[in-house]
Chains A and B, each alone.
Chain A
């Protein structure tokens, strides 16, 4: 069965510092991988996705993620965090077809001044 693990429930980063959110997945075939962000009281917004090709993918809001097949990871990064990045971040894995998308439990990002 497919699964996603986000090992960090909460992360606190100083404004202007770099960020890396971890995501490990389990999937029997070539995965489709996603990162979503959820601001308080709102729905999820798709940040970026990986289907195939270049293992470093660029997303919106200055985020990027790197697919590492050997480590079954898809970590999200940002060089310099802004206070507006404080939110909850979800990693998700699936195959072709919407019915197979599995979400991680989320990582809450707190940004300190």
Chain B
């Protein structure tokens, strides 16, 4: 049982480059989330998706876009990376629509130079 899988685990980018962070869950969950975690800041919600085909902005959406490709997959895209986006990114999921996140992936550690 894989749970929530994130790829890549680590990535280094140059300012202005773009990339997509991948997330997939195999638990048939409806809701999926993207958070960023910065030292001493806790977690902050970037985007979430209550169900396939729907996405909504969280607390810190600027500079990011998301796609809920299907029920399993929820990707996060940085169109033009900035040093302020250096962070650890976590994808999460939960069973119901409107539930709080229950299962987290192991994170993507992203550095932008």
A and B are partners in one complex rather than unrelated chains: yes
- Give the interface of A toward B (CB within 8 A): 4, 32, 34, 41-46, 49, 90, 92, 94, 96-99, 101-106
Q: How many cross-chain pairs have Cβ atoms below 8 Å apart between A and B?
A: 57
B25 to chain A, nearest CB (A): 12
Interface flags for B29-41 (1: CB within 8 Å of A; 0: not) read: 0010100000011
Number of interface residues of B (CB under 8 A): 26
Residues of A within 8 A of B101 (CB): 44, 46, 98, 101
Residues of B within 8 A of A42 (CB): 106-107
A96 touching B104, Cβ below 8 Å:
no
Contacts A32-B100, A104-B42, A105-B41; is A98 near B106 (CB within 8 Å)?
Answer: no
**Interface residue? B48 (CB, 8 A):** yes
B26 to chain A, nearest CB (A): 15
A43 touching B4, Cβ below 8 Å:
yes
A105 touching B107, Cβ below 8 Å:
no
CA distance A98 to B50 in the complex (A): 9
Closest to B98 in A: A97
B92 touching A105, Cβ below 8 Å:
no
A45 touching B104, Cβ below 8 Å:
yes
CA distance A28 to B69 in the complex (A): 36
